């Protein structure tokens, strides 16, 4: 989720290859190369913090980026052992646990995670923290530009106002989008009722004229440049955006909001599990934690880091809104029991963005997609080709399976 990717590991990959150290920082005999392969959201760490870890452990970090949880899942299912640390969001952790894609964490190696805020220690997607550790967390609310939005929004319904035509931005996340529609109608984001989901999608379809884009990667830039006036945003992104454009404000709608977390997890078969656990432990050192979250602008899950944070950070109104709401937010949960409904979400989302007759617009041939149709669909939606490919494969899979 998160800071301009032009800063991508700006100084974090300076360590020379051929390095070697044990996770305690001591050089290993034989000088074995230590590499930490990280698969994460964009701009999700302070480059200085990553560089400091490389120096402390005499190792190199390789940082690959995914745009959404579906892309992460597809990559790990295709052979995720090439990575040592991954960062699935809450509900995706539950999915990966069920698919046996994650290693159990050795808690004796990540003692610093005992510093975690009590409210985050037993999340519904991994109650015992056996497979994951909260990294970033926050709430999803409405960000808006006070220069153009004169009346303070109070409801998700405000996104549908006619005067916001072409200026609304929604997160590029199918569960977040459908969940927002469900919340707007007074339902749970985890509804398994086909009628409630269909109603939400139909209402979302009426939002199309107002939409500028579905975006997670450059949503901050769009608000800073004032292309977007109002839309759904994670509280940490709102905090970062406000620093660059003080006209950006953030509210939690009266119907309620999602609380979310991105996590640390280790994929099954990871080749450098000890170094991965050392990395997780290092990021939970209170002083390191404060330095890292001051940079990325997200809520710090480390209770002992507060004294190391700046006064500006501790008083940040967006981050405070998330802290105040932490016990009332609704987590997005894995709803495998309603698998057919879940798998149809992407197809429903495609309808929301205006591709109503998906199978007449995109040619499927034994699971393949014609590139010209794929490109045209991507232009209409603002999604990448890869994201669209995932959407269509999921939808196609369910349709085929239902016929069996």
Read off the pLDDT of residues 298-327 as tens digits, 9 standing for 90 and up: 999 999 999 999 999 999 999 999 999 988
Question: If pLDDT is split at 50, 70 and 90, which confidence band does 42 have?
Answer: confident
- The mean pLDDT value for 86-115 works out to 96
Question: If pLDDT is split at 50, 70 and 90, which confidence band does 159 have?
Answer: very high
Whether 369 has a pLDDT exceeding 60, the answer reads: no
Location of structure tokens 């044990």 = 22
Predicted local distance difference test score (pLDDT) of residue 129: 96
pLDDT of 9-32, one tens digit each? 333 333 333 344 444 444 444 456
Predicted local distance difference test score (pLDDT) of residue 31: 57
Whether 342 has a pLDDT exceeding 50, the answer reads: no
Predicted local distance difference test score (pLDDT) of residue 340: 42
Separation between Cα atoms, residue 262 and residue 259, nearest integer Å: 11
Separation between Cα atoms, residue 161 and residue 207, nearest integer Å: 9
Question: If pLDDT is split at 50, 70 and 90, which confidence band does 113 have?
Answer: very high
- The mean pLDDT value for 148-176 works out to 94
Predicted local distance difference test score (pLDDT) of residue 339: 36
- The mean pLDDT value for 95-122 works out to 96
- The mean pLDDT value for 46-74 works out to 95
Whole-number percent of the chain with pLDDT over 90 = 65
Predicted local distance difference test score (pLDDT) of residue 336: 58
Tell me whether strands 168-170 and 211-214 are parallel, antiparallel or unpaired.
parallel
Burial class, 395, CB count within 10 angstroms (exposed 0-12 / middle 13-18 / buried 19+): buried
Whole-number percent of the chain with pLDDT over 70 = 75
Question: If pLDDT is split at 50, 70 and 90, which confidence band does 337 have?
Answer: low
Separation between Cα atoms, residue 24 and residue 331, nearest integer Å: 35
Predicted local distance difference test score (pLDDT) of residue 1: 45
Mean pLDDT of the chain: 80
pLDDT of 225-236, one tens digit each? 999 999 999 999
Please say whether the beta carbons of 126 and 93 come within 8 A: yes
Predicted local distance difference test score (pLDDT) of residue 18: 35
pTM value surpassing 0.75: no
Predicted local distance difference test score (pLDDT) of residue 384: 40
Whether 387 has a pLDDT exceeding 50, the answer reads: no
Whether 45 has a pLDDT exceeding 50, the answer reads: yes
pLDDT of 124-136, one tens digit each? 999 999 999 999 9
Predicted local distance difference test score (pLDDT) of residue 302: 97
Predicted local distance difference test score (pLDDT) of residue 32: 65
Whether 188 has a pLDDT exceeding 90, the answer reads: yes
Predicted local distance difference test score (pLDDT) of residue 194: 86
Least confident piece of the model among 245-259, 278-292, 375-389:
375-389
Contacting residues for 224 by C-beta, under 8 A, at least 6 apart: 241, 244, 245, 248
- The mean pLDDT value for 39-56 works out to 95
Question: If pLDDT is split at 50, 70 and 90, which confidence band does 290 have?
Answer: very high
Please, what is the Cα angle at 333 between 86 and 112, to 5 degrees?
Answer: 45
SS3 annotation, the chain: CCCCHHHCCCCCCCCCCCCCCCCCCCCCHHHCCCEEEEEECCCCCCHHHHHHHHHHHCCEEEEEECCCHHHHHHHHHCCHHHCCEECCEHHHHHHHHHCCCECCCCHHHCHHHHHECHHHCCCCCCCCCCCEEEEEEEEEEEEEECCCCCCCCCCHHHHHCHHHCCCEEECCCHHHHHHHHHHHCCCCCCCCCHHHHHHHHHHHHCCHHHEEEECCCCHHHHHHCCCCCEEEEEHHHHHHHHHHCCCEEEECCCCCCEEEEEEEECECCCCCHHHHHHHHHHHCCHHHHHHHHHHHCCECCEHHHHHHCCHHHHCCHHHHHHHHHCCCCEECCCCHHHHHHHHHHHHHHHHHCCCCCHHHHCCEECCEECHHHHHHHHHHHCCCHHHHHHHHHHHHHHHHHHHC
Least confident piece of the model among 111-120, 198-207, 244-253, 379-388:
379-388
């Amino acid at each position: 989720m998160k800071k301009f990717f032009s800063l991508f590991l700006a100084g974090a990959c300076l360590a020379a290859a051929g390095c070697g150290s044990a996770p305690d920082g001591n050089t290993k005999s034989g000088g074995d190369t230590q590499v930490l392969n990280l698969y994460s959201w964009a701009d999700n760490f302070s480059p200085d913090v990553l560089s400091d870890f490389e120096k402390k452990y005499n190792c190199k970090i390789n940082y690959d980026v995914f745009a959404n949880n579906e892309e992460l899942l597809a990559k790990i299912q295709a052979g995720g052992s090439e990575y040592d640390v991954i960062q699935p969001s809450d509900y995706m952790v539950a999915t990966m646990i069920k698919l046996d894609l994650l290693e159990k964490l050795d808690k004796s190696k990540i003692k610093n995670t005992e510093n975690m805020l009590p409210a985050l220690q037993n999340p519904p997607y991994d109650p015992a923290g056996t497979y994951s550790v909260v990294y970033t967390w926050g709430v999803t609310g409405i960000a808006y530009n006070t220069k153009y939005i004169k009346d303070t929004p109070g409801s998700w319904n405000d996104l549908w106002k006619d005067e916001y035509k072409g200026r609304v931005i929604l997160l590029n996340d199918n569960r977040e989008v459908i969940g927002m529609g469900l919340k707007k109608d007074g339902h749970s984001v985890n509804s398994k009722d086909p009628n409630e989901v269909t109603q939400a999608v139909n209402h979302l379809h009426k939002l199309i004229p107002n939409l500028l884009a579905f975006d997670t990667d450059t949503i901050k830039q769009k608000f800073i440049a004032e292309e977007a006036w109002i839309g759904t945003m994670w509280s940490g992104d709102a905090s970062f955006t406000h620093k660059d454009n003080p006209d950006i404000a953030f509210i939690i709608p009266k119907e309620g909001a999602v609380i979310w977390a991105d996590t640390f997890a280790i994929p099954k078969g990871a080749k450098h599990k000890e170094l991965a656990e050392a990395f997780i432990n290092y990021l939970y050192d209170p002083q390191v934690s404060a330095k890292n979250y001051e940079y990325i602008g997200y809520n710090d899950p480390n209770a002992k880091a507060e004294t190391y944070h700046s006064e500006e950070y501790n008083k940040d109104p967006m981050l405070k809104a998330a802290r105040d709401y932490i016990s009332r937010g609704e987590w997005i949960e894995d709803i495998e029991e309603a698998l057919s409904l879940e798998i149809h979400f992407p197809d429903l989302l495609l309808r929301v963005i205006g591709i109503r007759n998906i199978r007449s617009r995109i040619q499927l041939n034994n699971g393949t997609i014609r590139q010209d149709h794929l490109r045209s669909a991507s232009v209409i939606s603002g999604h990448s080709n890869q994201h669209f490919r995932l959407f269509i494969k999921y939808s196609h899979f369910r349709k085929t399976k239902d016929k069996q």
